A and B are shown apart, each in its own frame.
Chain A
Amino acid sequence: TQLLEQSPQFLSIQEGENLTVYCNSSSVFSSLQWYRQEPGEGPVLLVTVVTGGEVKKLKRLTFQFGDARKDSSLHITAAQPGDTGLYLCAAGYQKVTFGIGTKLQVIP
């Protein structure tokens, strides 16, 4: 059983569309992180959400932490081809546990 479940696992959309990816768990977390990984590279930390109900924005990316701190979502507005990549949610401060990821492809 995966500690962090992500959906969808694959997403292919046209440039300019909006999308939301989800990260769910039955566990409560003190924080959740979102990473982006491009092919052949290591993951890069995008954001950390700490407080239940917290919303953080990073340009066109909006991250939300569920009120119960069991889930999180990432919403991308007006997706660009440069947003293409693998989006991973993760938990843990040192030994990081990753979800399976959402592979996003934005078609020009």
Chain B
Amino acid sequence: GAVVSQHPSRVICKSGTSVKIECRSLDFQATTMFWYRQFPKQSLMLMATSNEGSKATYEQGVEKDKFLINHASLTLSTLTVTSAHPEDSSFYICSADGGGGPFPYFGPGTRLLVL
């Protein structure tokens, strides 16, 4: 089956720094990737839709200047959390569409802890 990877799997950073999370489709080309955020004991909430070669589309309430998304190739999308604060600590999960099935494939997630 199609595989989606994320890097890093865990990251700890200081408040005010920026963190980049990568999402890769390993064996297929993903024209569209999606970024989700999951707080403890909550479900996954869609943050933004990332299309290769164009600007990302953000969901209501998600700051586009804080969560920078780049989808420079058909196999890689990056999410950069700029000037991270403790309230940004969460589990960030990406999914990628185009792996042959009707539904996107999810990555394993990245745990971000901002101190």
Contacts and interface: CB of A to CB of B under 8 A. Distances in A.
Interface of A: 33, 35, 40-45, 48, 88, 93-101, 103
A94 B32 CA distance: 9
A99 to B, nearest CB: 6
Given A41-B108, A42-B93, A93 B43 contact: no
B106 interface: yes
A41 B5 CA distance: 11
A44 B93 CA distance: 12
Contact of B106 (A44, A94, A103): A44
Give the 3 A-B residue pairs with the shortest CB-CB distance, closest first.
A42-B106, A98-B43, A100-B43
B97 A94 contact: yes
Nearest to B98: A94
A48 to B, nearest CB: 7
Contacts of A48: 102-103
B44 interface: yes
B104 A96 contact: yes
Contacts of A100: 42-43
B24 to A, nearest CB: 13
Contact of A42 (B42, B43, B49, B109): B109
B95 A96 contact: yes
Interface in B85-108: 91, 93, 95, 97, 102-104, 106-108
B43 A96 contact: no
Nearest to A101: B43
B67 interface: no
B111 interface: yes
30 contacts: A35-B106, A40-B91, A40-B109, A40-B111, A41-B109, A42-B93, A42-B95, A42-B107, A42-B108, A42-B109, A43-B44, A43-B93, A43-B106, A44-B106, A48-B102, A88-B44, A93-B103, A94-B32, A94-B49, A94-B97, A95-B34, A95-B46, A96-B44, A96-B95, A96-B103, A98-B44, A98-B45, A99-B43, A101-B43, A103-B41
